[in-house]
Amino acid sequence: MSQVVESTEVMTLEEAAAFLRVSPEAVMRLVVQQALPGRQIEGQWRFLRAALADWLREKSGKAVLLSQAGAFADDESLAELRATIYKERGRPEVEEN
């Protein structure tokens, strides 16, 4: 059974922008980058207040990767993996000037 969401929890593009205190254009840039949760319904964007609040609390993808980077510091297979990736790309790992 699906859960019914109160109408005050569903926001338009303009309401979402006001909630985030940014322009509607900034919200759309984030939506296009698939960084911000939203749905387009019959040509109009809708956002859940709770989803936007959760998004604000999340760590960025970059922050998550950086927090995990130390876990790979002692991984001896990374150099071989990196060399294989660059070989398959057909370019050197370090660009020569």
Summarised one tens digit per residue, pLDDT across range 23-34 is 999 999 999 988
CA 23, CA 94: separation in Å to the nearest integer? 40
* Residue pair 19/55 in contact by the 8 Å Cβ criterion: no
Question: Dihedrals φ, ψ of 41, to 5°?
Answer: -125, 115
Q: Could you give the C-alpha distances from 13 to 6, 34, 46, in angstroms and in order?
A: 17, 15, 6
pLDDT per residue as tens digits for the range 23-69:
999 999 999 988 899 999 999 999 999 999 998 888 766 666 666 66
pTM value is: 0.56
- CATH class of the region 7-89: mainly alpha
- Specify the higher pLDDT residue, 5 or 24: 24
Strand ranges in 9-93 using DSSP code E only, listed in sequence order: 10-12, 39-41, 44-48
How remote is the C-alpha of 49 from its chain's centroid?
Answer: 17
